[in-house]
Amino acid sequence: MTPPATERTARQDRAAILNLLEEIARAHYEKSAAGIAAPYAPHAVIFDLEPPLVHDGIDPKRKEAWLGIWEGPVTIATKGIEVKVTGDVAFAHGYVRLAGRKKGAARDVDFWMRQTVCLERRDGNWRIVHEHTSVPFYMDESLRPAFDLKP
């Protein structure tokens, strides 16, 4: 029995959004700033780890500079991504792992973050309009990032 159109469409939308997140991960691995920026709306609100507190869209030149500090590929992996779609609006949340080696570093960078992305369907394509990425920190006197946590 074929599922109803709305159920079928919801599955297709979810698959398209997960694919979009995979494309971003692939672009990181390939060190393609343009590939990283492509799925974002021009003025997406970005709350990521880098100052300032908010970014207006993804700046490919800023991404290119960031990619340049890495020795080799930058690996992005996701875990536990949940996607909710309602019409032309969706959000996804879960965990993102960042791994790689910075130039001149003695050891690899490898930690998990929390991430939420909000998307809108524009001209038939999903675009990220808001992204929030964070690393928890220990609420003791150290206030150090909790890079040791794993999902």
For the stretch 70-117, pLDDT in tens is 999 999 999 999 999 999 999 999 999 999 999 999 999 999 999 999
What architecture (CATH level 2) is domain 5-134?
A: Roll (3.10)
3-class secondary structure, 57: coil
Domain boundaries, the chain: 5-134
Inform me whether the pLDDT recorded for 53 exceeds 80. yes
The pTM assigned to this predicted structure is: 0.92
- Which of 31, 25, 36, 28 has the alpha carbon at shortest distance from 59? 36
Continuous H helices in 30-111:
33-37, 60-67
pLDDT digits (tens, 9 = 90+) for 111-137: 999 999 999 999 999 999 999 999 999
**DSSP H or E segment with residue 104:** none
Residue range 32-37: mean pLDDT, rounded: 98
Continuous H helices in the chain:
5-29, 33-37, 60-67
CB-CB contact of 46 with 115 (8 Å): no
